Amino acid sequence: MKISVVGLGLIGGSIASCLKQSGHKISGYDIDEKTISYAIKNEIINFGSTKLINIEDSEVVILALYPTVLIKWLKNNQEKLSANTIIIDACGIKGVIISEIKKFLRSDLEFVGCHPMAGKEASGIMHSSPTLYKDANFIITPVDNSDYAINVAHQIAKNLKVKNISEITPLEHDEFIGFLSQLTHVIAIALMNANDNKDLSLYTGDSFRDLTRIAKLNEDLWTELFTMNKEILINEIELFEKSLDEFKNALKNDDIELMKTLMIKSTLRRKEFDKK
Amino acid sequence: MKISVVGLGLIGGSIASCLKQSGHKISGYDIDEKTISYAIKNEIINFGSTKLINIEDSEVVILALYPTVLIKWLKNNQEKLSANTIIIDACGIKGVIISEIKKFLRSDLEFVGCHPMAGKEASGIMHSSPTLYKDANFIITPVDNSDYAINVAHQIAKNLKVKNISEITPLEHDEFIGFLSQLTHVIAIALMNANDNKDLSLYTGDSFRDLTRIAKLNEDLWTELFTMNKEILINEIELFEKSLDEFKNALKNDDIELMKTLMIKSTLRRKEFDKK
């Protein structure tokens, strides 16, 4: 297929290079001239430009942009796309994005919400990799989509060599992500900020490093993601706080049995999780 | 040196095999016959027994036991040790252990609190490894110790191939561990118990897996560790809850600037941490 990737950061660059290796013809677009040069030099794309030259030739346009930028880009540039173009995204949030896009999208274009679930604590095309999504989870959130468009999304996911492809609603997506991704990032931020001792690294084992790895994050992107999922995320934080309080109170009350019960439960759940 | 290791689980087995490879002569003791056979067969120890045969020959005795078991063992068996034996432990808690032991320890024996900081989400000698402590942090908590005893602890740490050896007070140790290790385990337990959706594993990226890896834990050991550090751990949980609330309220109030500030702070702190 002829595919355009708009936004050649870590995500867009990784998608572009992997799809190119799968045999698709990739045009890459980015506002940064150096990014385009890098992408061409490193054979991440077949063609690249800071202008949207020839984007009308693409059957599929993949938007690898920040959520707010994505909505603006589509509003400003949808007239440049040919009829029947399938538009796919890679955003970590779905409900707000899809409902906003529905308000203005041309009726002869089709948007399929997608979320390939992997990332890195680094941004920019120089950190991109054709194997970023290998064995990852890939979520599609269909809303009034044609079978053809859903099939295209599946095809792209398979070409990215993901492990699982799931179809769920945008709301289910945002709830899962609120818990699994956003809450974990909030916890890492809060933990990293809870204690200002600079010598801590001398006394730590692996658990703290693992838990706070994601405390290094892009504040512009994550503020957008959190704000667009505000109600769900606040609810998830509060459910977590309840669970934490239950454990704290067991400790306060020397309730050894309850502490053990909670540990056995978390151990079983985590083991179940490993199997899949 | 002639060294005895009492308790041949994951920790004791790993210490024994590494020290044996460093050239020490290791006697291993455990209440489980099969553990002793395994340790001899796999050359983890030079000599092993379920009885304390020849323990009086050891210059150093390393206790790799649960905290409560350690105290009982020493109370019941200290008369079997020769004068001037150095006793070392590997417990994740120091204040209570040291103050309890001080109450009854023979004046011709010397106890040096040690904490080699590494572990696994699995227990038993079959999971032990001579490289468990390679590049780990090692904490010594001297209290009225002779230079000789402290030197022995350093020597053992070096033979375990650790990266950093720190000397701090038992209280400092318990505060650091309360934050760095115990709080992170409490968070992982609470997070794993906060949501009972069994299909979550289909939708997750790496962050949740990393954060909950330590939610699989030995409830008997960790209940002891938490209970023995109760006041400090409750304080750490509450500091974390405050930090979490600060972020939650920023999100509730759409305070984008505060959210970004907290993310930048966590990012900088985590980067600082990586350097060491």
Q: State what percent of residues in chain B have pLDDT above 90.
A: 85
End-to-end CA gap in chain A:
32
Residues of B in contact with A215 (CB under 8 A): 266-267, 269-270
- For chain A, positions 147-166, list CB contacts with chain B under 8 A: 164, 166
Q: How many whole angstroms separate alpha carbon B31 and alpha carbon B276?
A: 40
Nearest to A203 among B137, B206, B234 (CB): B137
Q: Are B54 and B47 in contact (CB under 8 A)?
A: yes
For the cut 70, the answer to whether the pLDDT of residue B21 exceeds it is yes
- Of B29, B94, B25, B91, the C-alpha closest to B55 is B29
Digitized pLDDT (tens) for each residue of chain A, 276 residues in all: 999 999 999 999 999 999 999 999 999 999 999 999 999 999 999 999 999 999 999 999 999 999 999 999 999 999 999 999 999 999 999 999 999 999 999 999 999 999 999 888 788 999 999 999 999 999 999 999 999 999 999 999 999 999 999 999 999 999 999 998 999 999 999 999 998 766 777 777 677 888 888 898 899 999 999 999 999 999 999 999 999 999 999 999 999 999 999 999 999 988 887 765
B269 interface with A at CB cutoff 8 Å? yes
- Written as one letter, the residue type at B48 is G
Q: Are B229 and B181 in contact (CB under 8 A)?
A: no
- Written as one letter, the residue type at B140 is I
In total, chain B counts a number of residues equal to: 276
CA dihedral B247→A248→B187→A181, nearest 10 degrees, is -50
User: What distance in Å separates residue B18's CA from the closest CA in chain A?
Assistant: 19
For the cut 70, the answer to whether the pLDDT of residue B276 exceeds it is no
- Nearest residue of chain A to residue B115 (CA atoms): A203
Residues of B in contact with A118 (CB under 8 A): 205-206
User: What distance in Å separates residue A221's CA from the closest CA in chain B?
Assistant: 10
A118 interface with B at CB cutoff 8 Å? yes
Q: Are A214 and A188 in contact (CB under 8 A)?
A: yes
Residues of A in contact with B230 (CB under 8 A): 251-252, 254
Q: Give me B5's structure tokens.
A: 């290791």
- Written as one letter, the residue type at B109 is L
- Residues B184-225 pLDDT 10s: 999 999 999 998 766 777 777 677 888 888 898 899 999 999
B168–A243 C-beta distance less than 8 A: no
ipTM here = 0.88
- Residues B236-274 pLDDT 10s: 999 999 999 999 999 999 999 999 999 999 999 888 877
H or E stretch covering A218: none
- Residues B124-152 pLDDT 10s: 999 999 999 999 999 999 999 999 999 99
Determine how β-strand A60-63 pairs with β-strand A47-49.
Answer: unpaired
Q: How many whole angstroms separate alpha carbon A127 and alpha carbon A17?
A: 12
Q: What is the gyration radius of the CA atoms in chain A, in angstroms?
A: 21
The pLDDT of residue A276 is: 56
Q: Give me B192's structure tokens.
A: 């794993």
B207–A181 C-beta distance less than 8 A: yes
Residues of A in contact with B267 (CB under 8 A): 215-217, 219
In the predicted model, what is the mean pLDDT of residues B151-158?
A: 98
- For chain B, positions 36-75, list CB contacts with chain A under 8 A: none
CA distances from A23 to A16, A19, A99, A104, A131 (A): 11, 7, 33, 33, 15
- Nearest residue of chain A to residue B134 (CA atoms): A205
A166–B201 C-beta distance less than 8 A: no
| Neighbour-count burial for B66-81, b at 16+ CB within 10 Å, e otherwise | bbbebbebbeeebeeb
CATH of domain A2-168: 3.40.50.720
Rounded to two decimals, what is the model's pTM? 0.87
A276–B243 C-beta distance less than 8 A: no
In the predicted model, what is the mean pLDDT of residues B35-41?
A: 98
Q: DSSP string spanning A220-239? A: HHHHHHHHHTHHHHHHHHHH
User: What distance in Å separates residue A150's CA from the closest CA in chain B?
Assistant: 18
Q: Give me B275's structure tokens.
A: 């350097």
> Nearest 5°: phi and psi at A52?
-90, 45
- For chain B, positions 180-219, list CB contacts with chain A under 8 A: 180-181, 183-198, 200-217, 219
Structure-token match 């699994």, residue found: A180
- The CATH architecture that domain B173-275 belongs to is Orthogonal Bundle (1.10)
In sequence order, which residues have a C-beta less than 8 Å from that of residue B83 and are 6 or more positions away?
Answer: B108, B109
User: What distance in Å separates residue A223's CA from the closest CA in chain B?
Assistant: 7
Q: How many whole angstroms separate alpha carbon B105 and alpha carbon B168?
A: 22
Q: State what percent of residues in chain B have pLDDT above 70.
A: 98
| Neighbour-count burial for B110-132, b at 16+ CB within 10 Å, e otherwise | bbbbbbbbbbebebebeebebeb
The pLDDT of residue A31 is: 97
Q: Are B91 and B39 in contact (CB under 8 A)?
A: no
- Written as one letter, the residue type at B207 is S
Residues of B in contact with A220 (CB under 8 A): 260
- Looking at per-residue pLDDT, the higher value among B271 and B33 belongs to B33
Tell me which DSSP letter residue B45 carries: -
Q: Are B124 and B9 in contact (CB under 8 A)?
A: yes
Q: How many whole angstroms separate alpha carbon B179 and alpha carbon A214?
A: 18
CATH of domain B2-167: 3.40.50.720
User: Residue ranges per domain, chain B?
Assistant: 2-167, 173-275
Residues of B in contact with A94 (CB under 8 A): none
> Nearest 5°: phi and psi at A194?
-80, -15
A246–B190 C-beta distance less than 8 A: yes
User: What distance in Å separates residue A82's CA from the closest CA in chain B?
Assistant: 33
